[in-house]
């Protein structure tokens, strides 16, 4: 199976990159399943139902969120209505929405997607390791599902790496989101799980993690609140991770970064 995970979509530049490129990438790479992290898609803060629908129409199968899940209040009933949008699994019981789901990927194959949010330098949610462990136990790779994609939405690279190794042998892909910078450590872990600490963002890299530079710099220099941060509006780069799995085991055969458009050096898997 061929999987693609698109990093955090930031503002219109990121949305445009996803909507324009995902349909072409599905054809070019023969993709079976696409996940995108959309928690910064609505002007940098949260996501709306309309944006979700635009992503689905473009060929995204599942949208994951993160610590900005609740920034757009209109998304709350949508989380209950559409299982293709996932918030972190380790929110407390009773929180609206779902943190994991099983989806069809064609030819009778099933993909489980789960997102957990880290606790280092972030909100003190329930234990992400316990939450992840439960979902992996309920959906064994190569048995109940043919692929497992884990989005680890964390600030600390150490926590992402720990979750990656914790899920090794039990997931097809563990990939980090939230940092907005693509890391160079794409690898297959010893047990066969593909891993990358952060997929990067889909957005304008002439920015401070996707936001206009002047306001972001001012916050560091002046140490007082200033104007509200807003997304940079230049050409967007689509940053993603491509994984090909073994159909029999669900484990990874290859993982490669994908970078398309904008300012970063390009990278495109050859299939």
- What's the CATH number where 59 sits? 3.60.21.10
Is residue 268 a part of any domain in this protein? no
| pLDDT of residue 224 exceeding 90 | no
Q: Cα(240)–Cα(260) distance, rounded to whole angstroms?
A: 9
Which structure tokens are listed for 105? 């990927």
Catalytic one of 43, 68, 153, 178: 68
Task: Return the higher-pLDDT residue of 264 and 223.
Answer: 264
68 is catalytic: yes
| pLDDT of residue 55 exceeding 80 | yes
| pLDDT of residue 256 exceeding 90 | yes
Is residue 270 a part of any domain in this protein? no
Q: Which domain holds residue 27?
A: 2-260
Which structure tokens are listed for 235? 């050409």
Is residue 195 a part of any domain in this protein? yes
What's the number of domains the chain is made of?
A: 1
Query: What is the pTM (predicted TM-score) of this model?
Result: 0.96
What single-letter DSSP state applies at residue 228? P
Sequence-distant (6+) residues with CB within 8 A of 7 are 37, 177, 180, 182, 198, 199, 200, 201, 202, 239, 240, 241
User: pLDDT over 90 for what percent of the chain?
Assistant: 93
Q: Which residue has the tokens 């209040």?
A: 73
Cα–chain center distance at 193: 16
Q: Which residue has the tokens 């996501």?
A: 47
pLDDT value at residue 106: 83
Computed from CA positions of residues 228, 230, 69, 159, in that sequence, does the dihedral angle turn out positive or negative? Answer: negative
Is residue 269 a part of any domain in this protein? no
| pLDDT of residue 234 exceeding 90 | yes
What does DSSP say about strands 62-64 and 33-37: parallel, antiparallel, or unpaired? Answer: parallel
Is residue 267 a part of any domain in this protein? no
Which structure tokens are listed for 202? 């889909």
């Amino acid at each position: 199976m061929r999987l693609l995970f698109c990093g955090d979509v930031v503002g219109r530049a990121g949305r445009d990159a996803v909507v324009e490129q995902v349909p072409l990438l599905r054809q070019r790479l023969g993709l079976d399943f696409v996940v995108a992290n959309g928690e910064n898609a609505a002007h940098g803060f949260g996501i709306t139902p309309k944006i979700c629908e635009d992503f689905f129409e473009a060929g995204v199968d599942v949208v994951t969120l993160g610590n900005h899940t609740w920034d757009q209040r209109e998304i709350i009933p949508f989380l209950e209505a559409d299982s293709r949008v996932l918030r972190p699994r380790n929110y407390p019981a009773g929180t609206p929405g779902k943190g994991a789901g099983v989806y069809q990927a064609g030819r009778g194959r099933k993909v489980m997607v789960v997102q957990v949010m880290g606790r280092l330098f972030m909100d003190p949610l329930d234990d992400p390791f316990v939450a992840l462990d439960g979902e992996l136990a309920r959906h064994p790779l190569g048995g109940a599902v043919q692929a497992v994609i884990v989005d680890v939405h964390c600030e600390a690279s150490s926590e992402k790496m720990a979750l990656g190794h914790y899920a090794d042998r039990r997931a097809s892909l563990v990939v980090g989101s939230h940092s907005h910078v693509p890391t160079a450590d794409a690898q297959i872990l010893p047990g066969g799980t593909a891993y990358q600490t952060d997929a990067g963002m889909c957005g304008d890299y002439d920015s401070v993690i996707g936001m206009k530079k002047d306001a972001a710099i001012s916050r560091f220099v002046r140490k007082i609140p200033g104007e509200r941060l807003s997304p940079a509006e230049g050409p967007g780069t689509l940053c993603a991770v491509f994984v090909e799995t073994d159909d029999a085991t669900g484990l990874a055969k290859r993982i490669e970064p994908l970078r398309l458009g904008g300012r970063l050096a390009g990278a495109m898997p050859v299939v």
